[in-house]
Amino acid sequence: MFPYVVYKLFLRKSFFYNGTNILTITWLRYRMKKTAGTLTMIAVLSATTLTIIGALSSFYTNIISFAETSNPNSYQTNWSTQTERAKILEAIRESKSNTLVYHDAVDIYNGDVIDKVDESIPYVDQRMTQFSVMALSDYNRLAMKLDNDSQQIKQLDDGEAIFLSPNGRFENKKRAHLWMKDPYTVTFKNNPMKYSLKIKAIYNHVVFNTDMVFSTLVVNDRLYQEISRKTMPRHIDIFQVTNEDRAEALDHKIQKIVVSDPYFYFYSGRLSSFYSNYHMMSTLIGVMLYIGMFMGIVFFAATGSIIYFKQITEAVDERPRFDVLQKLGMSQKEVRAVIAKQVLPVFLIPLILGICHSVAAMIGLSVNLLYSVGAPVMISTTIYTVFFIVYYFVCVNTYTKMVANGDD
């Protein structure tokens, strides 16, 4: 494509014979075939660099966002005793950096969907097989206390339910439609009744930490009371504290109270902690991001080295030509202008091709993993482009000094 553009500019005499364009166009026609392999290598390295940095920064952004939205409560315990609750509250009172915002308790009921699963469709598009059911009044109370833009529910009829999703970006239109299309037939342990529940809407937030309570349905209080009369509840205690992201000391105390052995915290199922969950995810993805950034820097350095040595080689070869031109009266400003035009394709073409390939790869990643990649990709691409532009001017300056002053 670019050789064709150069050829058309060559045929356009008004442009070709304007100023120093005759030198630039002639050089480009002579050099482009020889530099095609180098430009391809630079484009591949640019695409690889942008894809690595964009993908890992997208992973980091989405997983950190998911860690925050899927852990709305500072601490959440399952079937804690009165003694344990008292010890937890005492540990919070003794904490120097954390204070209790509120303590609440809710009973939920775990149900199984007995509808036949259509295994012919992809797993991500299949309907849910299990739910945790909570009362409308409990949801509204917790949503108001969380103060995180959680929507209030005014009314639900019998058989209607609201599904609470930890992250709405994981629910594409196709899957949400499948989940809401037909009612679910739900049964509860030791309860002979079958309940038909149709999802009326999907809310993009939760009121429970999802590592303990996942796939929650909100039903009206009348239906909830009917289920509670015949089903064993699951008791959840919630402890909300200030500075939950800086609660390492308090976190260790509460783990010892509830789990006894902190090494088995993640396997106990009795405690969910914002601090532990958030820091575990941020540490794991942070290590991946560090590795990705290091690889990106290595690829960028390789790209820069290839371009730099290519320009040094060409500067040595072109020095006699520029010596003649300067003896004929060409100023150093004109020399710089010619060099800037000659060097530009070496930077511009690989950069455009690299960005295009990277964007295509990131679109595929977004579609397949249902991740939002727009902002991280835009930021990483902008930073990479700025570095590329700076490096372009550095190469132009070096090239100009070599051919103008005759320095090795």
Domain boundaries, the chain: 2-66+283-405, 100-241
- Please tell me whether residue 362 adopts helix, strand or coil conformation: helix
Q: What is the pLDDT of residues 105-122, one digit of tens each?
A: 999 999 999 988 777 777
Q: Which of 332, 344, 68, 86 is nearest to 209 (CA)?
A: 68
pLDDT band at 72 (very low <50, low <70, confident <90, very high): very high
**Could you count the other beta carbons within 10 Å of the beta carbon of residue 111?**
23
Tell me if 66 sits within 8 A of 210, measured CB to CB: no
pTM, 2 dp? 0.73
pLDDT band at 39 (very low <50, low <70, confident <90, very high): confident
Tell me if 339 sits within 8 A of 399, measured CB to CB: yes
Q: What is the pLDDT of residues 221-239, one digit of tens each?
A: 999 999 999 899 999 999 9
Give rounded-to-5 percent helix, strand, coil for the chain.
60, 15, 25
Q: What is the pLDDT of residues 337-392, one digit of tens each?
A: 878 887 887 888 889 888 998 888 888 877 766 667 778 888 888 999 999 899 88
∠164-250-204 over CA atoms, to 5°?
10
- Long-range CB pairs of 372-377 (<8 Å, 24+ gap) are 372/58, 372/61, 372/62, 372/169, 373/54, 373/55, 373/58, 375/61, 376/54, 376/57, 376/58, 376/60, 376/61, 377/54, 377/57, 377/58
Q: What are phi and psi of 361, to 5 degrees?
A: -65, -40
